[in-house]
Amino acid sequence: MLKNVQLLQSSKDDTYGAQKAATDAFAAEREAVRKQFGEHRQLAKLAFKSQREIETQLQLDTRIKTTFSGWVSQATAFYEKIGTHSSAMIQYGVTETALQTAQAKLLALMDLADQQTQRRGEAQDNTEQRNKAVRELDSWMRDFYQVARIALKDNPQLLETLGIVVPSQV
């Protein structure tokens, strides 16, 4: 039982390490994609400042969403729709290739988000398994100590070899 708890603890540590690495990768990429989207969006506002229909299609007339899912939805819609208007962005140094690359990075970011969520779930599952094994070991140890106290009632000082502190009897 102890070996099982130790193995589960090691597995838990490994999965939390993987989860933290996935979180760090996701956070770094999210910041890069968010910055690039912000720049593209600002330049699109300049390019289409007098074209209300396009501003609405690209959601340039709304605030950037603060939730990840809202922001991803908004960025996805922007990159899907700006392709038909990319010629207007060239005057600001944003090529169609740059927009396609940004869209690909956004898709990769969504994959990283999924991986991070999956790693978090695995880590939580491993923690639950480890906790269950610890509870089973604790229960077994309580029974063991109780049997040991009964078996060694005539010589209680031997309980200390099991780690049970017994007051000295003089």
Q: CATH number for the domain including 20?
A: 1.10.287
* Residues 62-95 pLDDT 10s: 999 999 999 999 999 999 999 888 899 999 999 9
Q: 167 in a domain, yes or no?
A: no
Full residue range of the structural domain in which residue 107 is found:
2-159
Q: What is the dihedral of CA 9, 11, 16, 22, to 10 degrees?
A: 180
Instruction: Residue 49: name the closest of 7, 91, 83, 14 by CA.
Output: 91
pTM of the model: 0.78
* Residues 4-55 pLDDT 10s: 999 999 999 999 999 999 999 999 999 999 999 999 999 999 999 989 999 9
Q: 44 in a domain, yes or no?
A: yes
Q: 169 in a domain, yes or no?
A: no
Total domains in the fold of the chain:
1
Q: What is the dihedral of CA 87, 57, 109, 46, to 10 degrees?
A: 50
Q: 87 in a domain, yes or no?
A: yes
Q: 166 in a domain, yes or no?
A: no
Q: 164 in a domain, yes or no?
A: no
Q: 170 in a domain, yes or no?
A: no
